[in-house]
Structure 1
């Protein structure tokens, strides 16, 4: 069974999300190593979202309740009181609801800035991290890979990404009225992560030319060479030169000690946990914009036609394919057994006959596989399976198909 706990900008305080994101790295490993019923775990932790996706044994008595408690316990030691806050605010999802939710999240339809592009990459990186940690599973691999495919299809057909939405662009939209000429405004980026590249693109789209970058980990020179900006070695000196400071790092927190003077400047904090100490906003001359403020101004944009419908259809198709997999496995095994019997009767030099029989087996497998998926999508899978038994004597073993993983949703 697929299970998800989601805490996000809609149901959980930003401060709590910030602290949770700082300690969430080991959650997946803890879940898999400490709970036998957890087959796999992928943890997605972003600037406004913490989500744990699990594959758990089924049937599991009270599975959703047990899985939720496991996630909260895995966070408990490191998160402290914030784990209790999640207990009150986080939402649990099971089964097909997990598929629909992940597809919508990956497509940016659940984001603070609806349609933003960064989230799809974050979803993919969460899966890669789970692979590195050894915590992924067959079902999680399938649903995350198909979420990526659904995102591409939705963006191509619904044109959600046409406006190239992102938190960085929203922040620049908010300060746009304060800037007379972006070409003359010195801007400093603090951090060289994925948001930094997006921010540079957004700045240049507005005509910004004086862009510097500072990295607490010494990556500024390489990043600057790649993106054609100016590397900065001293943060305080770089801030003194800048009228707009944009932070997007997990390695450093800007404090009042880093602000060298009382000159007027705008500081935009895109990080969670916070990249800028709240006290910076109290300094004379500083206007601080953080994620909480951005969230209040993130008006829902008009989406391309049918975005939600496209994502919903993709999720329903994936769910139907998963449901049909045991029947497809049974049909293919039946045909393969018959093929093996016929091949065993051929003489050793009958290579052309073997090739022809194998091709025929593939052809015979294709149409029933398609019909099985169509039956699942129409809610008629039980009738399809009864027909297999009645006509061919094929018995569908749901447990064996799931354990073997022989017919993934991507299979033809």
Structure 2
């Protein structure tokens, strides 16, 4: 069973999201390694959302019990009171998890509809879970289908055609205060994924005087790769810049009041979560601070036609994923049925050989017959699964052949086997 606990810019404060982004990702490892009910966990933490995708072992006592235990672990990891966390997260399960993730990956739930970065963030969340050893077969299928759906939305609708992102929206808001980007000195603090996107967006606007600072010492290499200047003196670089853009993954502010001097007018854009900039610098004369919360307030309205088309594609993908998941649930019954039939077949072949049938014709005929007899049940299994009647197939196999099916906990990874068995 799949569960998702989601908190985003629509139902949680940026302060709460900031705390979750710092501490809660490590909760995934705790849930999988120390819990007795979570078989897989993938955590997605971005600048405006936190989501924990979980695969829960069956049989499940109650989903509410699993949610309560998950909230407790995340609460302890992030330092957020359990009651506050419960009030701020939305809980999804079953097909609603797929519907939500597919919409998120396609940019339909972002601050800016159709933003470019989110699909990459979803992909990296899965990769990080793989490295940490917390993913599972069900979550692998879910996230791979999400990536496929995101590509389909991008290629078949106009939703992402403008290359919109939080970076680009922040620069659009800033442009009303900039006379000439070509003459503007810009300092970029950070060398991660957002930094590359920021540079591309700045150059689209004609900015050429770009400098990068990295607290981790990667500025020189990053600058060489992107054809820009590097600095290791943050205080001086801030003093010289007209626009400062921060986009690092540090858990504490990089820019504080201690290193920002008052004086001429400067714009500071904080794209980090947790915050890269101490909000107190907004009180320094000459400093104008633009943070994620401010940017989100200026997000444009949905482009209704593109959004409608995209949601239709997401709905189709969810239906197909649900059908495939239902088919997977019948794989153990199909495997057990085939094992039973081939066991009977092998016994009959042994008897034929004992009677002197050595030319192989009887064996070939019996194996062909077994294949023909198993074809229809395999096809019917898929049809029943897609119709939501998987339980009736399992019951029939047990009743007609006396086969004992494995419990969910005893089932091996059976990804894709139903297609191979039909």
TM range (shorter): 0.7 to 0.9
Shift of 1:49: 1.1
Using the size of structure 1 for normalisation, the TM-score is 0.86
8 Å Cα contact 1:325-1:401 kept in structure 2: no
Query: Residue in 1 aligned with 2:315?
Result: 312
8 Å Cα contact 2:332-2:411 kept in structure 1: no
Shift of 1:278: 0.6
Query: Residue in 2 aligned with 1:174?
Result: 173
Gap change, CA 1:24 and 1:88, over 3 Å in 2: same
Shift of 1:220: 0.6
Shift of 1:199: 0.9
CA–CA distance in structure 1, aligned partners of residues 359 and 203 of structure 2? 68
Gap change, CA 1:388 and 1:396, over 3 Å in 2: same
8 Å Cα contact 2:57-2:409 kept in structure 1: no
CA–CA distance in structure 1, aligned partners of residues 146 and 228 of structure 2? 34
Secondary structure class of the residue paired with 1:10 = coil
- The 5 Å alignment of 1:101-250 reads 101-250=100-249
Moved more, 91-100 or 339-348: 339-348
Shift of 1:72: 2.1
CA–CA distance in structure 2, aligned partners of residues 68 and 385 of structure 1? 29
- The alignment status of 1:73 with 2:53, answered yes or no, reads no
CA–CA distance in structure 1, aligned partners of residues 258 and 143 of structure 2? 43
Structure 2 unaligned residues grouped into runs of 5+ = none
CA–CA distance in structure 2, aligned partners of residues 382 and 263 of structure 1? 72
CA–CA distance in structure 2, aligned partners of residues 176 and 348 of structure 1? 87
Gap change, CA 1:311 and 1:369, over 3 Å in 2: farther
Shift of 1:54: 1.2
Secondary structure class of the residue paired with 1:188 = strand
CA–CA distance in structure 1, aligned partners of residues 377 and 180 of structure 2? 64
- The alignment status of 1:403 with 2:411, answered yes or no, reads yes
Query: Residue in 1 aligned with 2:296?
Result: 295
Secondary structure class of the residue paired with 1:160 = coil
Secondary structure class of the residue paired with 2:64 = helix
Gap change, CA 1:67 and 1:256, over 3 Å in 2: same
The CA RMSD measured in Å over matched residues stands at: 3.3
CA–CA distance in structure 1, aligned partners of residues 21 and 53 of structure 2? 15
8 Å Cα contact 1:19-1:82 kept in structure 2: no
Shift of 1:256: 1.5
Gap change, CA 1:409 and 1:197, over 3 Å in 2: farther
Gap change, CA 1:309 and 1:210, over 3 Å in 2: same
- The alignment status of 1:259 with 2:260, answered yes or no, reads yes
8 Å Cα contact 2:6-2:52 kept in structure 1: yes
Shift of 1:342: 7.1
The total of aligned residue pairs comes to: 404
Query: Residue in 2 aligned with 1:10?
Result: 10
Using the size of structure 2 for normalisation, the TM-score is 0.84
Gap change, CA 1:296 and 1:372, over 3 Å in 2: farther
Deviation per CA, 1:340-375, whole angstroms, max 9, x where unpaired? 84797799999xx99xx89x96x9988876765555
Shift of 1:172: 0.8
CA–CA distance in structure 2, aligned partners of residues 325 and 173 of structure 1? 47
8 Å Cα contact 2:2-2:94 kept in structure 1: yes
CA–CA distance in structure 2, aligned partners of residues 237 and 389 of structure 1? 76
Gap change, CA 1:55 and 1:47, over 3 Å in 2: same
8 Å Cα contact 1:7-1:89 kept in structure 2: yes
8 Å Cα contact 1:385-1:396 kept in structure 2: no
Query: Residue in 1 aligned with 2:328?
Result: 325
Greater Rg by CA: 2
- The alignment status of 1:283 with 2:284, answered yes or no, reads yes
Gap change, CA 1:118 and 1:402, over 3 Å in 2: farther
Query: Residue in 2 aligned with 1:25?
Result: 25
8 Å Cα contact 1:326-1:396 kept in structure 2: no
